[in-house]
């Protein structure tokens, strides 16, 4: 079975965190870090196709508020994705009208972003048996001091983090179960560490 590695992608528009420069009290409050962000509940954040992003599950399978996708990704493939706030936030705090990505960082590198993908499907093998296949993958944004060598990310001590994916990310764990092929359990685990934190 081919391996699939996809992540959630959403484009939204309409600016939200606008300061009222005519109100000195409001301006002073924002300078003190009290600036308000545009939230999903405001109804002012949209998908790329112009659909209002709403709290809870939408018809497309996304629950942006909960950092979750649960639905059919392509025919016969079911996908559950989870991500943290650094991967894709559920609000717009920088005023660009988009759900924030890699908050406080120019790119995902060093941001602490992570995503998990859990794929499931059934297929019929050459013997005519119906087989179950599932794959679980953990993906992290690599640290700022990571080095990419021949498609593998390494930490600053030369320890392998994991295979490169999407330029700024590494796969840190993969679990595949396919009983018809005699495959079961962990197929890859990062020698650095397979947990999602401390990156």
Tens-digit pLDDT profile for residues 135-175: 999 999 999 999 999 999 999 999 999 999 999 999 999 99
- Euclidean distance between CA atoms 143 and 156, whole angstroms: 9
pLDDT of residue 26: 37
Residue 20, pLDDT score: 34
pLDDT of residue 30: 38
Spatial contact of 82 and 115, defined as CB atoms under 8 Å apart? yes
- Tell me which residues of the chain have a pLDDT lower than 50: 1-34
pTM summary value = 0.80
């Amino acid at each position: 079975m081919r391996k699939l590695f996809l992540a959630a992608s959403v484009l939204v528009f309409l600016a939200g965190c606008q300061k009222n420069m005519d109100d000195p009290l409001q301006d002073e409050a924002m300078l003190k870090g009290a600036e308000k962000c545009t939230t999903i509940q405001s109804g002012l954040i949209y998908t790329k196709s112009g659909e209002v992003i709403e709290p809870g599950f939408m018809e497309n399978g996304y629950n942006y508020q909960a950092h979750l996708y649960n639905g059919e990704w392509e025919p016969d493939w079911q996908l559950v994705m989870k991500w943290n706030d650094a991967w894709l936030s559920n609000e717009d705090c920088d005023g660009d009208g988009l759900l924030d990505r890699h908050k406080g960082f120019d790119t995902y590198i060093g941001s602490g972003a992570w995503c998990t993908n859990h794929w499931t499907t059934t297929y019929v093998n050459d013997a005519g048996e119906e087989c179950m296949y599932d794959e679980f993958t953990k993906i992290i944004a690599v640290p700022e001091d990571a080095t990419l060598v021949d498609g593998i990310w390494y930490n600053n001590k030369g320890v392998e983090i994991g295979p490169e994916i999407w330029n700024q990310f590494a796969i840190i764990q993969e679990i595949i179960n396919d009983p018809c092929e005699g495959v079961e359990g962990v197929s890859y685990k990062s020698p650095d560490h397979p947990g999602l934190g401390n990156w």
